[in-house]
Amino acid sequence: MTAPHQDAPGPIKVLLVDDHRVVRAGLTAILNESGRVEVVAEAADGGAALELLRDQDRRESLDVVLMDLQMAPGLDGVSAIKAMREAGVDLPVLVLTTYETDADIVAAMSAGAQGYLLKDATDAELIGAVERVAQGRRALSPQVADRLVDRLSDPLPQLSPRELEILEALAKGKTNREIAQEAFVSEATVKTHLVHIYSKLGVDSRTSAVAVALEKRLIRSR
């Protein structure tokens, strides 16, 4: 974990990343009206956010990145967080999304997010979460915290981030070859992952694996 970015007095400076203009406008109004947080830059997808962050002066003027997960057609949130970390950008990232599946939570936190908040959060919860990640602390919606506790207490072996990715691909109807190409692995590796997934979920087919994953909210419904 890096040192907190919010050391100087004044509002916390935020880069807001969301593909819906109306959502950005609403979030900007909520945060700016608090007097404790100020949206100083916006981006419509992860790629645009990365372009902004390449400017050192702009990057150093920010305290927190508030990031949506699913952004179309541009770069999604998890990919953007990974790219930030690979480029050495250590700004704390607070994910703000509608999704609370294990696949989304694990992917975001594994990529390097410091917080994960759902979009049904109250104004006070949102502002408090921004403040916590700016101070170098974790910030999780209660539902998300519950999901993480459930993962720890579930008697079934836990699925790895890669296995969750493959489950999501199965739910989209993708073939082993398509999954292998997207993940840059061999088809044999995908088949090995499937064997492990089936064993962990106690199933013996792709259809059953997807059904159990949806029932347990490991992946999103399609």
In angstroms, the CA 19 to CA 41 distance is: 14
Query: What is the reported pTM?
Result: 0.77
DSSP 7: -
Residue type at 72 in one-letter notation: A
Torsions phi, psi for 34 (to 5 deg):
-70, -25
Residue reference for tokens 């292998």: 180
Closest residue by Cα to residue 21 from 48, 46, 44, 45? 44
What is the H or E stretch that residue 71 is in? none
Res 151: pLDDT: 76
Q: Cα-flanking dihedrals φ and ψ of residue 203, to 5°?
A: -125, 175
Residue 212 in tokens:
């159990």
Sign of CA dihedral 186, 166, 113, 33: positive
| Token pair of 193 as six digits | 């992952």
DSSP state of 70: -
Contacts of 200 (CB under 8 A, 6+ apart): 156, 157, 158, 159, 163
Q: Write down the pLDDT at residue 158.
A: 84
Structure tokens at 196: 């492990």
pLDDT tens by residue, the chain, 222 residues: 444 555 556 899 999 999 999 999 999 999 999 999 999 999 999 999 999 999 999 999 999 999 999 998 889 999 999 999 999 999 999 999 999 898 899 999 999 999 999 999 999 999 999 999 999 999 999 999 988 887 777 766 788 889 999 999 999 999 999 999 998 999 999 999 999 999 989 899 999 999 999 988 889 876
Residue with the two structure tokens 């992952």: 193
